[in-house]
Structure 1
């Protein structure tokens, strides 16, 4: 009995120790907000964010404790305020912070966090230096001082080359979350396509590939690959204004135009007359159009359909940019058009105007 009790206590203490080793503690001060709640959040997939911890605070001091099982890019968010304070959270890490809208805000502590913020500081200084030199270059050109401008331009090119090399050298030293996060952030900011994201992911080291940021990057390019030319169009079911459900794969047509749009989108509305003309000319020959609206207000959606005379299939989830189908097709801007053949394979994307007219003429006349 005594041995069993000892074993149980040992197991319990080991479990507690393991839990404590995964704790992330951030202590510091907050300015600009008297009191409220703090959240420590971390993205674990493209569409899911985990809450690592929460805490109430009374300014100026706060203590926020969370838990993570691996290094992750976490964000400290103040309830009811947009934005946040990102940092590299490591299991067992202890951090100090100043949370404020000013430039003096910081989060310090942890090997990854200090390396990341140190490089960001240096990189920012280099960009500012290059920007100032470019402004000086423009001034010299305006003053017709071409020789000085040319010499300065050579210096700018050298500095940019040096900055790129230093970036590659720094990332080359970090087969970890820092490099994976940098690549993911770059892909998101550039709205990089499937091929670019795939190349970024494949260039990561094995250590970096084990991080949450790398997994999200992989998820991103795998999602985008689903709507590449030649792929079977992802199937979906959405509702018409009349409340009827429409499933893409069940819509008959030799050629199908899958059109993502919205009533509030000016270019979409300007494109509707061309779609209307194509539909009137080719519907009897096998053309079908399925317009997926990214509206979230049914009245505006229905009014736009009526005003623009969209007599084809109109569907929507009425969730705006949170529409699962838009995400399924990696739609980041509207209008977005996918051309499908009779077997529901994607044969072209974003054909408009003369190119769309030529495609329909070649395939339906």
Structure 2
């Protein structure tokens, strides 16, 4: 073997060693399958302080399967992003915890066909989003009915539909608050308070926080919720 060949062999060996070491050190793995995808790039991402942060990526060239790795300290919302050079953003948010999460979806309906299996937090998030989807569907029906009533200049029906819409908003907040209260031992509780009920009565947000277990209060979203409440009270 020539000296040049030895150098190339050493470089390849070092590259493989570093790559394997990275995978072995990771405590979170995302495996998935995107039906119909022939070429593209998948990214594992998280929210940074001011922008989205890439944690890992993989080029898809023929095979629809992918595996991504990272390290997480605690349950956190991550994103699977697909870049397929079509000028659009394609994301699937999911709640990750240490271990393995699997996402199966399709190229044509990447965000909507996703089937996610993994953490208990993800199961709770899907349960919550399932109910929110029903509320949103009801609201779409009201919007359609309001459009028809507006064309007919039917002010009485419009007022009635407006009341129905406001009632749905109240029910969504009520469900979110109760769901968070019922899951005080899970990071989903402060997450919902932060991002789904931020405009609710502060009394209810305080109740969610005070109801959290000590472990959840010390979690990423628990600390963020505590900071939000502290800032609000300091400005009162």
Q: Work out the CA distance in 2 between the residues paired with 1:220 and 1:154.
A: 31
SS of 1:105's equivalent in the other structure is coil
Q: C-alpha offsets along residues 24-68 of structure 1, whole Å, 9 cap, x if unaligned?
A: 23221155x63344221223x524766543333234512223232
Would you say the 8 A contact 2:193–2:208 is kept in 1? no
State the number of aligned residues.
202
Q: What residue in structure 2 maps to residue 26 of structure 1?
A: 31
Q: Work out the CA distance in 2 between the residues paired with 1:145 and 1:185.
A: 34
Is 2:194 aligned against 1:184?
Answer: yes
SS of 1:93's equivalent in the other structure is strand
Q: Work out the CA distance in 1 between the residues paired with 2:40 and 2:193.
A: 34
Q: Work out the CA distance in 2 between the residues paired with 1:181 and 1:105.
A: 24
Q: C-alpha offsets along residues 137-190 of structure 1, whole Å, 9 cap, x if unaligned?
A: 4644645473x66665665555444433322222222222222222333488x7
Q: Work out the CA distance in 1 between the residues paired with 2:232 and 2:104.
A: 37
Q: Work out the CA distance in 1 between the residues paired with 2:155 and 2:114.
A: 42
Q: Work out the CA distance in 2 between the residues paired with 1:128 and 1:66.
A: 36
SS of 2:73's equivalent in the other structure is coil
Q: Work out the CA distance in 2 between the residues paired with 1:168 and 1:220.
A: 16
Q: What residue in structure 2 maps to residue 78 of structure 1?
A: 82
SS of 2:99's equivalent in the other structure is coil
Gaps of 5+ in 1: 1-15, 230-365
For 1:46-61, what aligned pairs fall within 5 Å after superposition?
Answer: 46-47=49-50, 51-59=54-62, 61=64
Change (3 A) 1:121 1:225: same
Change (3 A) 1:156 1:222: closer
Gaps of 5+ in 2: 1-20
Is 2:126 aligned against 1:117?
Answer: yes
Give the one of 82, 94, 101 matched to 1:87.
94
TM-score, L = length of structure 1: 0.43
Q: Work out the CA distance in 2 between the residues paired with 1:202 and 1:46.
A: 27
